[in-house]
Amino acid sequence: LYMQLPPQLSEAMVKALQANGSHMNLYSITGTFTNQVMDAAPSVTDGATVIAETPPAVTSARWAGTRAAIAKYSGAGSVDLANDNVLNTWTAMQIYADVAAAVKGTVTGPALQKQLAASPSINPKTIPPLDFAEPFSVSAYARLFNHNVVVLKVEHNAFVATTGYVDMTAIFLRGR
């Protein structure tokens, strides 16, 4: 069963599946499939396959600054780190701060690439390769700069990465 519902509806769906005694393979994306959804019905969500933009943030050392900022300003556990929007926002803020501090002169595509490559916030284990200078070859998605995903499995109520970054360009171009 593929679920791409808001987290509250995903939570209701897994509770209903659990109440019916259903056991099936679940597939979803992070942002939809959150820690709250896993907590709602662990017997149903264990083994689910989840497509993510980054490796899991709950335990990864790379996301320690994110967790510390959330704990300081919002309270530990107040933000669901299984939500790609949280991680994208944190990453964007960190990269912006790095690049803005180093910008000198006119910013061009190649100059931006050079600044991004020098940014200490970009870590190839947590940030996929991005190319802001080259539009994506599918015109409707010309502004899509991240062609990569990480495949996660839910094991014992936690996300576990089963792959590194997987380039999805060929799949996007085939339209599947």
Other C-beta atoms within 10 Å of 112: how many? 14
Q: Find out whether 1 and 26 touch, Cβ atoms under 8 Å.
A: yes
Task: Write down the pLDDT at residue 118.
Answer: 72
Bridge partners of residue 51, in order along the sequence: 29, 151
Beta carbons within 8 Å of 163's beta carbon, 6+ residues apart? 150, 151
Query: What average pLDDT values come out for the chain (176 residues) when binned by 10 residues?
Result: 87 92 87 86 92 75 82 82 75 78 76 71 61 69 75 90 83 69
Task: Write down the pLDDT at residue 72.
Answer: 92
Strand segments, DSSP code E, in the chain are: 2-3, 27-29, 49-52, 148-155, 158-161, 166-167
Task: Write down the pLDDT at residue 56.
Answer: 72
Task: Write down the pLDDT at residue 79.
Answer: 81
CA angle 13, 153, 12 (to 5 degrees): 10
φ, ψ dihedrals at 155, nearest 5°: -130, 120
Task: Write down the pLDDT at residue 121.
Answer: 66
Task: Write down the pLDDT at residue 176.
Answer: 47
Q: Of 29, 35, 33, 31, which is closest to residue 51 (Cα–Cα)?
A: 29
Give the predicted TM-score (pTM) of the model.
Answer: 0.67
Q: How do 49-52 and 148-155 pair as beta strands?
A: antiparallel
Task: Write down the pLDDT at residue 125.
Answer: 57
Using DSSP's 3-state secondary structure scheme, residue 159 falls into strand
Q: Find out whether 157 and 42 touch, Cβ atoms under 8 Å.
A: yes
Q: Of 26, 23, 22, which is closest to residue 3 (Cα–Cα)?
A: 26
126 exposed, middle or buried (CB, 10 Å; 0-12, 13-18, 19+)? buried
